[in-house]
Amino acid sequence: MATLTQDRTDVYTRVTERIVADLEKGVRPWMKPWDAGNAAGRIARPLRAAGQPYRGINTVMLWMTAMERGYASPFWLSYRQAQELGGQVRRGEHGTLVVYAGTVTRPEQSGEGEESEREIRFLKGYTVFNAEQVDGLPDRFRAPAPEPKEPMARIEAADRFFAATGAEIRTGGTRAYYAIGSDHIQMPPFETFRDAESFAATLGHETVHWTRHPSRLARDLGRKRWGDEGYAAEELVAEIGSAFLCADLGITPEVREDHAAYIASWLEVLRNDKRFIVSAAAHAQRAVDYLHELQPPVQQAA
Closest to 32 (Cα-Cα) out of 235, 239, 253: 253
- Cβ distance 201 to 251 under 8 Å? yes
> Can you give the pLDDT at residue 265?
78
pTM: 0.76
For residue 163, give the 3-state DSSP assignment: helix
Q: What is the pLDDT of residue 6?
A: 43
> CA 297, CA 21: separation in Å to the nearest integer?
41
Q: What is the pLDDT along the chain (302 residues), one digit of tens a residue?
A: 333 344 444 777 877 888 888 778 776 766 644 443 333 344 578 999 999 999 999 998 898 888 788 788 889 999 999 999 999 999 999 999 999 887 778 777 766 667 777 777 778 899 999 999 999 999 888 765 555 555 655 688 899 999 999 999 999 888 899 999 999 999 988 888 877 888 888 899 999 999 999 999 999 998 777 667 888 889 889 988 988 898 888 877 655 555 556 677 778 888 888 888 889 899 999 999 999 999 998 765 44
Instruction: Please provide the DSSP assignment of 97-128 as one string.
Output: EEEEEEEEEEEEE-TTS-EEEEEEEEEEEEEE
